[in-house]
Each structure stands twice: as structure tokens, then as C-alpha cells.
Structure 1
Amino acid sequence: MAKRGPSGKGKTQHLTDTMGEALERITDEQPSMPDPVPGPSPNPATNLIIHDIMLRSAGRLSRMAVEKAVLGKQYGKQFAKDAVENRSVLHTLAAYGVTKVATRSVPGAVVVGTGLVLKVLFDRSQSRREARRQGDRQLRKQARRADKK
């Protein structure tokens, strides 16, 4: 995330830290009293793990549902399912890495955004048919991996 500047502890503070502190101030009914640990466990580390797993799972499920819906309109439900669920490990790690770079800092977001714009411009510089054929080939290759399992 974007870094906001030095905090009182000598470390650079992320924008998420600032937002978290603001939300804490707004929602804290009794600022002078310690807050109970939110979650099912009295151990805050366990609750953090539980929340992390839940958020990541919900994010992954919603992302996959949207991807299947977008592809399903043009290619059909089964093809979209195969293409989305059978990405290579390399593809998954690359997407994760690029996302991590884009969300850690403003310069990272600019670099990733610029790369995406350049890719779109490159695709548009090709003939529309060739760009579509190339994308279709890549999706068919991904979907075929499901048939081989």
C-alpha cells in the first residue's frame, strides 16, 4: 500500500495503518477500556488466522465466480469452468506477484498499471482477429488441461 510518512515509532506508516487507526477511533465506544478480542477464540493470533482464511477464501470464490461468468457469456459454462479452474502454477504465481507489487506502493501500482496499458495497446495494434485468435488459443490450452486429468 501507499506509504504515508514516518509514524511516531520511527517506521514508515502504510495507508492501511492510518485507515485502521481511524476506524478504531470511530468504532471504539470506550477508548480508555481495552477491547475484547474479536472472534471465536480468546487468542488474537488465532482470530487473525481465522479472519485471514475467511477473507482470502471469500475473495477467491468471488473472483472465480466473476471470471467464470465473464468467460461463460462468450464460450459457454463448461469451457469457462475448465479455463478458470485449470490455470498453471506459473500463471497463478505470476498473477499473485504482480498483484503484490501493485498493492504495496504507489510506484508499484504505476508500474503495473503502465504494463497493463501497454499490453492493451499492443493487443489493439494487432489485427482484431489475430488478437482474438491468440486469446482463444490460450484459453483452449488452459481448458484442455482439465481433459487430461
Structure 2
Amino acid sequence: MAIWKPRRWASALVYSVALAAMDSTIHAAPPTIDPCTFVTPAEVEQVIGKLKGAPTSETLGDGVRCSYNFADENNELEIWASGGAWSKLLHKDAKQPVMVKGLGDEAFMDRGKNDPEAVDLYIKKGAILIVLMTRKGPGDEEKLKTLGKKAVGRL
């Protein structure tokens, strides 16, 4: 079992709770949205590291999650997509929010909210919320920004 799998379920729970707590009506992610199509496996390997198999997607609550399994079990990447409305509550609930310019309509990064060993990038583009999650480590913010730009460009 990969090291990151326990975090998958924890992040699913936290992410679902965050969506449920939004102050706007939540709409399930359209079935055509698959966050595994936001970045290619080759792009993920170039930015983070060698993959062990194809990414997998699954619907959890109001979002769809794409999980990547890496050859180096210390690497981790999840990409979430939801048709839920953006909310200031997400930013207010963040532990260490840092606004990020040039990604979608609005974006911010947060360290340690869902997991003390993680960094998360929240991006709003239109009615879609994208969340990219990875482990803390050298260049983690730039890695997420690079993949976030590609994801936003494909919406």
C-alpha cells in the first residue's frame, strides 16, 4: 500500500466538508469533468516524478478526484474538480492562505490545512473549483502552480 493512501481518504472527507459548508448552493460536478484530463501523465512525471500506472478518478460527494500513484511513494498528487460555487469560506478556513495571481479567476495556496505534510492549491475558473494537493517538499508551490496553469488552460 502506498504511503499517501491514508491521506486520500482524509482529504476526501475534508474536501467534502468544505464543499458542504459553502454559503452558496452546491451543484455536483458535471459528469464530463474528469480532473485526470487536466494534466497529462507525461506532464505530471516531468513536474513531480515517475508514475506507477495510470491515474484513477472517482466521484466522492460533490467532487471528482484524480489520484496519481508514483514509483517513489514519497511523492503525491491529487486533483479535485467540483461544480460547487467558490466561497470566501474556503479562504477564511485556510490555515496559511497565500493568494496566487495568474491562475483562473481567483486562486490561493494553503499549507497544512488538511494534512501537516501537504500543500494545497485552490483555483476557481468560472463555476468550477479545482484543488491540487501534494506533499510539502522542495519546489512544491512551483510544482502545483505549473500543473495548475495546465489544468486551468484545459477547462
What TM-score do the two structures reach when normalised by structure 2? 0.25
Bigger Rg, structure 1 or 2: 1
Structure with the higher fraction of residues in strand conformation = 2
